[in-house]
Amino acid sequence: MKKEQIQQLFAQFENARQQVEGIECWSARDLQGILGYAKWDNFFKVIEKARTAAESSGIPVADHFAGVGKMVPLGSGAEREIPDVMLTRYACYLVAQNGDPAKNEIAFAQTYFAVQTRRQEIIEKRLLDVARVSAREKLTKSERKLSGILYERGVDDMGFAIIRSKGDQVLFGGYTTQMMKFKLKIADSKPLADFLPTLTIKAKDFANELTSHNTETKDLKGVNAITQEHIENNKAVRKMLLERGVKPEELPADEDVQKVKRRLESDEKQMLKELKKTKKKK
């Protein structure tokens, strides 16, 4: 997500924030537009899912989803009342969690309502963390997919390890997986991908997807044929990166993605904990 869009969304959410009896909340009608939903009916379905999620968690729904009316102007200059829902920050978080994750607005909202301190730099950092964790999880899925395809074509676990290692060696300009670990000071017991920056993780994932696709399309079988295919695909991905001025082997190591994932999960648990404290005070 571009910095400009983050700044724009941050300002929109901040401007839409209201105080009702000392509680910060947002109008669902306002959020509908910010989150990119053209029709109220479609957005209301998301609100209902969020309401159900709150009920399942034992949260008093009425405290977080308050039905109200909203006055809107008509073409004649008159006004009419339409149904609206005032949502607490926690309710907004649940709405975002049940929205379309492909929308940038939803991805931003999930972080905006999850963090305790609404500062733009904190939100930007968390969005980067979320993107990196998501990319790493997608790489794991593409590796499992490729492994399954290769197993059906006579390649065992050792063969898959060889194929993956050969791909890494090409992608990193001659550096093997082990050499990259040494270069980036990564422990032997840790996966290289857990310390790679998001761009490199996505590059590896793309090469895997190409190999999976072409292995099936070309009906390749055996370690040698599929290794060569994986090498060619990593060459193509590396060439694209080099053309954009990026050398994967020169990018610095990033924080262990597993630690990042645990931190994100801890942030969300902390939000729920704070919510329960508020509930007890009432």
DSSP per residue over 98-147, as a string? Answer: TS-TTSHHHHHHHHHHHSSS--HHHHHHHHHHHHHHHHHHHHHHHHHHHH
| Residue 101: inside a domain | yes
pLDDT at 174 over 90: yes
pLDDT at 282 over 50: no
Query: What pLDDT is recorded for position 123?
Result: 81
Beta bridge partners of 82: 70
Same structural domain for residues 158 and 97? no
| Residue 16: inside a domain | yes
Find how far residue 219's CA is from the centre of its chain. Answer: 33
| Residue 63: inside a domain | yes
Same structural domain for residues 230 and 139? yes
Same structural domain for residues 52 and 84? yes
Same structural domain for residues 106 and 203? no
Same structural domain for residues 139 and 254? yes
Q: How confident is the model at residue 136 (pLDDT cuts 50, 70, 90)?
A: very high
| Residue 192: inside a domain | yes
Q: Distance of CA 50 to CAs 99, 118, 273, Å?
A: 9, 22, 18
pTM of the model: 0.73
- Decide which of 79, 114, 149 is a domain's last residue: 114
Same structural domain for residues 150 and 254? yes
- Decide which of 52, 82, 114 is a domain's last residue: 114
Same structural domain for residues 83 and 192? no
State pLDDT tens for residues 41-62: 999 999 999 999 888 878 888 8
| Residue 267: inside a domain | no
| Residue 166: inside a domain | yes
Can you say whether residue 185 is alpha, beta or left, with left for phi > 0 and alpha for psi between -120 and 50 degrees? left
Q: Who has greater pLDDT, 64 or 69?
A: 64
Query: What pLDDT is recorded for position 1?
Result: 73
CA dist 182 and 198 (Å) reads 20
Q: How confident is the model at residue 278 (pLDDT cuts 50, 70, 90)?
A: low
pLDDT at 74 over 70: no
Same structural domain for residues 98 and 148? no
Find how far residue 168's CA is from the centre of its chain. Answer: 25
DSSP letter for 222, please.
S
Q: Who has greater pLDDT, 237 or 278?
A: 237
Same structural domain for residues 109 and 180? no
pLDDT at 33 over 50: yes
| Residue 279: inside a domain | no
Q: Report yes or no: 217 and 151 within 8 Å, Cβ to Cβ.
A: no
Structural domain count of the chain = 2
Closest CA to 268 of 61, 115, 92: 115
Q: 3-class SS at 221?
A: coil
Q: How confident is the model at residue 280 (pLDDT cuts 50, 70, 90)?
A: very low
pLDDT at 137 over 90: yes
Beta bridge partners of 87: 26, 65
Residue ranges making up the domain that contains 192: 132-260
Q: How confident is the model at residue 261 (pLDDT cuts 50, 70, 90)?
A: very high
Query: What pLDDT is recorded for position 77?
Result: 58
State percent of the chain over pLDDT 70.
90
Same structural domain for residues 99 and 143? no
Q: Who has greater pLDDT, 40 or 123?
A: 40
| Residue 102: inside a domain | yes
Choose the most confident range, by mean pLDDT, from 72-76, 113-117, 131-135. 131-135
Same structural domain for residues 48 and 108? yes
pLDDT at 277 over 70: no
CA dist 143 and 103 (Å) reads 26
Query: What pLDDT is recorded for position 180?
Result: 96
Q: Report yes or no: 1 and 103 within 8 Å, Cβ to Cβ.
A: no
Beta bridge partners of 65: 87
pLDDT at 155 over 90: yes
End-to-end CA separation in angstroms for the chain: 39
Q: Report yes or no: 180 and 192 within 8 Å, Cβ to Cβ.
A: yes
Query: What pLDDT is recorded for position 191?
Result: 95
CA dist 267 and 85 (Å) reads 26
Same structural domain for residues 148 and 104? no
CA dist 175 and 196 (Å) reads 14
Q: Distance of CA 279 to CAs 37, 93, 276, Å?
A: 31, 17, 5
Region 211-230: what's the mean pLDDT?
95
Query: What pLDDT is recorded for position 60?
Result: 82
Q: How confident is the model at residue 70 (pLDDT cuts 50, 70, 90)?
A: low
